[in-house]
Structure 1
Amino acid sequence: MIFGYSTNAFVKYSLLDSFDMIARLGFAGVEIMCDQPHLYPPEYDNAALTKVKASLEKNGLKPTNLNSFTLFAVGDTYLPSWIEPEAERRRIRVDHTLACLEVAAFIGCRNISVPPGGPLPENMTRKEALHLFHQGMDQVIPKAEELGVRLLIEPEPNLLMERTAEIKPFVSEIQTPAVGINFDIGHFYCAGEDPAAAFEELYPWVGHIHIEDIAPTREHNHLIAGLGAIDFPSVFTAMKRSGYQYDMSLELYPYTDRPEAAGKDSLAHLLPLLREAGLHD
């Protein structure tokens, strides 16, 4: 398992500068934000992507995941979504996902993470939203299968899917290994679940993990590891027991003013726990 750090904590720096900083902290991997001000696909041609690959190689960083969740370039954290009433808005999300799949294949990243539908629109039933999400996924799954890049749905507090009982039926109904789950440990805690139990139940579909701490209030606010209430040893034990073989990325986007310090402190807290669980050398 490679432990990476997401560039969405480094939005005050360029993408390539963030690689340098993450490598200096001692991370072996990096999750890349596929949005402005980092790797927004329309702004990166093959020549620019070749420079990205060269920088990753120079820094000895493996791309653990492409974070294709936000769309600040044309919207915000959640919108345009898969489930908006307007077809042209849903098309933006589909096209962005297709472009991110192409980028992942080019730079050698085996998965991208996508939002779980989106915020439920007013006057839309859950059944209607799930139907639209299925329609959107049907438009991107063939490309994912063709390129060998997995689409990992990330449950999120207050969106269409935030709990095990909501994401499990959706992914289990899609009969392709190209679709899985980006398991954000803190998100399941925010949703009132035991992350370790949720991981064990969803393990067959988990292709990447986000890690951060969350306060005892379960408010959705990513914290430096060790400052919250998440029982990391129980989660790591569940990962080891399940035989988890993929990667994990630290996601600390609230710390844009001090991403290096936040990463350093989190790494110092988590590495001993990962080693004790047998998940890190």
Structure 2
Amino acid sequence: MNDPMFSSASPAAAAVETPTAARSGQTLRFGYGTNGFANHRLDDALDILAGQGYAGVALTLDHAHLDPFSPAVSTQVARVRRRLDRLGLGVVVETGARYLLDPRHKHHPTLLSDSGRRHRIDFLRRAVRLAAQLGAEAVSFWSGAKPPELGDEEAWRRLTDGCSAVLDTAAEHGVVLGFEPEPGMFVDTLDGYEELVHRLGQPPLLGLTLDIGHCRCLEPDSVPDCVRRAGPRLVNVQIDDMCRGVHEHLEFGEGEIDFPPVLAALAEVDYSGLVAVELPRHSHAAPVVSQRSIRFLEHAWRKVPV
């Protein structure tokens, strides 16, 4: 990161350091999303990932791992933080649980929904408070899809109102937010993110979550150029393979992305946060997939020019 306000390095998290990294003085910190370990107990997932050499986790708040609506959530958060600290794992908080807020409708309600927006805002504010207790590096969230009958200006109004409420809580607790452009949602590209930041008056706590696969899926520029463009506000990175025009998170090598130039671009912009594998549909083989993933990323990093 160029701006110290957006520094997301965790002193407790171990960096993945390779011979190339040691020679160049650069490090990248690889993590893994717990939504890719949906069939595991959280403690077991953390133990596996730490043992495989990951530096951190992208922790999705959900009923099966860390439920923000549980009456015992404060006790659970304290226990999770102790375990993360013991394992030397950094953490970012993800808020993309599919059915946490509505058991019948995926990802609903959103910040743009006709009803239920307050429930989403309450959830995001809870996420911020839990992130503060966890010592998390960022809280990641997105806009949601625009209802078909909703005009663009009303959509922007709802989104900025919701973001402003969450930003107030973030400022109170000193937590950085990472807004994620998501294919199929109202804000789906870097252009949309920049428009949001402009409408909100350039709030310093509203950083960017960048999914590397989404760049290949939707953005007109190359993936490394997207990373360079995102650099000044980059607080959280999700990484996966993807093909142009198809929003499907793929294992590395199954899509179209050339990863060494992407990792080189992250080093170029001095990004120090987690680079977390995002494979939410691979829980059926989580330990094997996570092992393959970190081996692939370490190999790709070794190929980055000194």
Question: Which of 78, 95, 111 is residue 82 of structure 1 equivalent to?
Answer: 111
Q: Which residue of 2 aligns with 1:27?
A: 54
Structure 1 residues 139 and 192: CA distance shift in structure 2, 3 A: closer
- Does residue 57 (structure 1) correspond to residue 94 (structure 2)? The answer is no
Instruction: Give 1:29 deviation, angstroms.
Output: 0.7
- Does residue 154 (structure 1) correspond to residue 180 (structure 2)? The answer is yes
Question: Which of 255, 268, 271 is residue 295 of structure 2 equivalent to?
Answer: 268
1:135 aligned counterpart, secondary structure: helix
Structure 2 counterpart of 1:158, which letter?
A: G
Q: Distance between the aligned counterparts of 2:215 and 2:153, measured in 1?
A: 22
2:242 aligned counterpart, secondary structure: coil
Q: Distance between the aligned counterparts of 1:214 and 1:15, measured in 2?
A: 27
Q: Distance between the aligned counterparts of 1:243 and 1:56, measured in 2?
A: 25
Structure 2 unmatched runs, 5+: 1-27
Instruction: Give 1:69 deviation, angstroms.
Output: 2.2
Q: Deviations over 1:238-269 (max 9, x none)?
A: 22222222221111111111011111111111
Question: Which of 213, 221, 224 is residue 196 of structure 1 equivalent to?
Answer: 224
Q: Distance between the aligned counterparts of 2:135 and 2:85, measured in 1?
A: 11
Within 5 Å, which residues of 2 pair with 1:177-256?
A: 177-193=204-220, 194-215=222-243, 217-256=244-283
Q: Which range moved further: 9-18 or 233-242?
A: 233-242
Q: Which range moved further: 103-112 or 266-275?
A: 266-275
Q: Distance between the aligned counterparts of 1:172 and 1:230, measured in 2?
A: 30
Q: Deviations over 1:174-199 (max 9, x none)?
A: 33211011000101211143221222
Question: Which of 181, 184, 190 is residue 164 of structure 1 equivalent to?
Answer: 190
Q: How many residue pairs are counted as aligned between the two chains?
A: 274
Percent same amino acid at aligned positions?
Answer: 27
Q: Deviations over 1:111-144 (max 9, x none)?
A: 11001x2111021112211110000011111110
Instruction: Give 1:68 deviation, angstroms.
Output: 1.0
TM-score by length of 2: 0.85
Q: Which residue of 1 aligns with 2:76?
A: 48
Structure 2 counterpart of 1:250, which letter?
A: V
- Does residue 112 (structure 1) correspond to residue 112 (structure 2)? The answer is no
Structure 1 unmatched runs, 5+: none
Contact 1:190 1:214 in 2 (8 A): yes
Contact 1:25 1:260 in 2 (8 A): no
- Does residue 141 (structure 1) correspond to residue 167 (structure 2)? The answer is yes
Q: Deviations over 1:7-64 (max 9, x none)?
A: 101111111111111112221211111122211211243221121112212322111x
1:226 aligned counterpart, secondary structure: coil
TM-score by length of 1: 0.92
**Dislocated runs of 4+, deviation >4 Å:** none
